[in-house]
Copies of this chain bind each other. A is one copy, B any other.
Amino acid sequence: MTIKAAIVGAAGFAGIELVRLLVQHPSFELIAMTSDAYAGEPVASVYPAFAGSVDLAFSATADAPLADADVVFLAVPHTVALKHAPDLVAAGVAVIDLSADFRLKDPEAYAAYYGVAHTAPDLLAEAAFGQPELFPEDLARVRQRHAAGRGVLVACAGCYPTATSLAAAPVLRSGWGAPSGLVVVDAISGITGAGKKASERTHFCFANDNVEAYGLVSHRHTPEIEQILGIEGRLVFTPHLAPLNRGLLSTVTIPLAGEKAGVSSADAEELYRTFYDGCTFVEVLAEGQQPRTASVAGTNRAQVGVAYNPRVHAVVATCAIDNLCKGAAGQAVQCANIVFGLAEGAGLASLALPI
């Protein structure tokens, strides 16, 4: 089976990662890769790592035969997906949206955090949330709908929400109970998270040899994380930048209500192993080991570590992903695989570099 795929916004960092994955995918065939800034230019002239390997060119979005595609990946800024998605879904296309436009189930929250009204609340209501390990039924529902010939939309989780929820969900969804106070998330991203646009923040000489926090108090991923984990109004989320290209580490501290008599880090590890049993892309590390972002760079994998702190009755869990892959393009392909009934890991199996 060859599935016709298009990417809108293919020249950005998430978009070009989609190109990398789809060019090598056994079932998808790229019929269009749009970039209004680079329309007509060969991909390899913008991303020279593809010289000699990828002989394709960007096209203007207006010229791209999006409605002819079976699946359209939207790697665009928020509000742009709102423009494209409704018509494509109406045309029967499976839309895999990497933007934030359809992630927040509450249109009011969208308006509050993104500063614009949500113009497609009906589509929002029927969209699946694209985090396959935590919302498999949501994707299964959409897959059935698509199998019945209908257009569908998957709103892929953001990079910070993906890593954070993989770290926190096992304990929050288990009998270990709700947190007793605030859930604190400090996360660190590589500089690809700041996007392709050249700026002072992304200038090598300012980003190198430096770590810093940013987006305190009001980062837009806050309500998304709260929604995924069901901890509305209890999250403090602080993102940081560190000098690496790819990689995102989320460290989640969850205070537990009451002593867990006899609970240990080994119990926490066991809880996590059971929770992620059968999940292709999540590796729970042995007690005492910690995820390394380098270990997942270039892959769709997540590594998760967990420890129980008996002194203060809190769980500290960490998750490392590649923000461009499992945090964006890889998860999008994973979702598309599910929607089309392919193996969940199709085209996503490559090993990490050992060093």
Does A211 interact with chain B (Cβ within 8 Å)? yes
Bound CA–CA A217/B255 (angstroms): 13
A209→B245 contact, CB < 8 A = yes
Among A182, A196, A296, which residue has the most Cβ atoms of chain B within 10 A? A182
Task: Determine the residue in chain B with the shortest Cβ distance to A294.
Answer: B210
Complex-state Cα separation, A333 to B249, whole angstroms:
34
The contact size tier of chain A is 35 or more
B residues less than 8 Å from A242 (CB atoms): 188, 211, 242-244
Q: A202-B203, A249-B211 are in contact. Are A355 and B192 (CB under 8 A)?
A: yes
CB distance from A92 to the nearest CB of B (A): 31
- Interface check A77, CB cutoff 8 A: no
Q: How far does the alpha carbon of A117 sit from the alpha carbon of B36 in the complex, in Å?
A: 40
Contact A20 B353 (CB under 8 A): yes
Contact of A17 with B354 at beta-carbon distance under 8 Å, contacts A251-B186, A303-B51 already known: yes
Whether, in the assembled complex, A178 has its beta carbon less than 8 Å from a beta carbon of chain B, the answer is no
Binds B, one of A79-87, A96-104, A135-143, A228-236: A228-236
Interface residues of A in 245-281 (CB under 8 A from B): 245-247, 249, 251, 253, 255, 265
Query: With A188-B211, A208-B244 given, is the CB distance from A251 to B234 under 8 Å?
Result: no
CB-defined contacts of A294 to chain B, threshold 8 Å: 49, 206, 208-210
A157 located at the interface, meaning its Cβ lies under 8 Å from any Cβ of chain B in the complex: no
Q: Does A172 contact B (CB under 8 A)?
A: no
Residues of B contacting A206 in the complex (Cβ-Cβ under 8 angstroms): 294, 355
B316 touches A236 (CB 8 A): yes
